[in-house]
Amino acid sequence: MTRYRHITVGFALLTVTAGALCQLPDRPHTDKPPAEPPPSGVVSPELETFGRIIAIQASLEQIGYFNSAIASTDLALQESRELQRLGTAATDIGLVNGLSLRLRDSLDDTEHYNGRFLASFTKVQDTELKKLIKPLRKSYSQVSREARNVQQLMEPGKIVPEQLATGAANLEKALSDFRTDQIRLGREMGIQSK
């Protein structure tokens, strides 16, 4: 009988010891995260920057207008370079009229898509991007001025090849500056140019 007693006491001790070893230390058991401090009303600079980036990001519609404006600006640049290379062929009225119409069409497309792009801005985009919109408008007014000058130089019977080449070079520079301003604005809005 003592033998059974020893086995029973040993088993009881083993059970109590195993139970005592498996207990976790005393700590609160909760699924809730620690309490946050009360809001101070101050927005962190990181959150403010992130909010600005989201607010000025271009919509899909704006990206389409932007890409169309860039494509038409590139076409106008190409046509202004063709005018510079005309040389003595500038006296060919048919050739000059054809180039004049193509240039006018591409400049009209540039104005149209750029106007649609800028008109699609939200109030927040207008406010936040004002420093980039102003130079864009200014450079486009220079494009318009140079385009009018080139159109006058291309009137039949008044064409002087050297003056036309100079006018086309001035138009190319204005278009190039305008394109740079377009890219700068697009990049700020998160648009990757092609």
Residue 74 lies in a domain: yes
* CB atoms inside a 10 Å sphere around CB 180: 13
Residue 169 lies in a domain: yes
What is the tens place of the pLDDT at every residue in 82-101? 988 887 777 777 888 888 88
pTM attached to this predicted model: 0.72
In angstroms, the Cα distances linking 150 to 10, 96, 101, 180 are 109, 11, 12, 21
Residues 80/175, Cβ–Cβ less than 8 Å:
yes
For helices 130-153 and 93-119, the axis angle rounded to 10 degrees is: 160
What pLDDT, on a 0 to 100 scale, did the predictor assign at position 149? 93
Residues 6 or more apart whose CB falls under 8 angstroms from that of 114 comprise 65, 69, 73, 136, 140, 182
Flag whether pLDDT at 40 surpasses 90: no
Better pLDDT: 39 or 155: 155
Better pLDDT: 16 or 8: 8
Residue 110 lies in a domain: yes
Residue 125 lies in a domain: yes
What pLDDT, on a 0 to 100 scale, did the predictor assign at position 106? 94
What is the tens place of the pLDDT at every residue in 72-87? 999 999 999 998 888 7
Residue 180: pLDDT band by 50, 70, 90 thresholds? very high
Residue 130 lies in a domain: yes
Flag whether pLDDT at 165 surpasses 90: no
Residue 160: pLDDT band by 50, 70, 90 thresholds? confident
Flag whether pLDDT at 136 surpasses 70: yes
Domain of 140, CATH number, reads 1.20.120.230
What is the tens place of the pLDDT at every residue in 117-130? 999 999 988 998 99
* CB atoms inside a 10 Å sphere around CB 123: 8
Range of the domain at 180: 59-188
Residue 13 lies in a domain: no
Residue 21: pLDDT band by 50, 70, 90 thresholds? low
**Half-sphere exposure for 69 (CA within 13 Å, toward CB):** 28
- State mean pLDDT over 56-79: 92
For helices 60-84 and 93-119, the axis angle rounded to 10 degrees is: 160
Count structural domains, the chain.
1
Flag whether pLDDT at 176 surpasses 80: yes
Residue 105 lies in a domain: yes
Indicate if the alpha-carbon torsion angle 172, 177, 180, 182 is positive or negative: negative
What is the residue-averaged pLDDT of the chain? 82
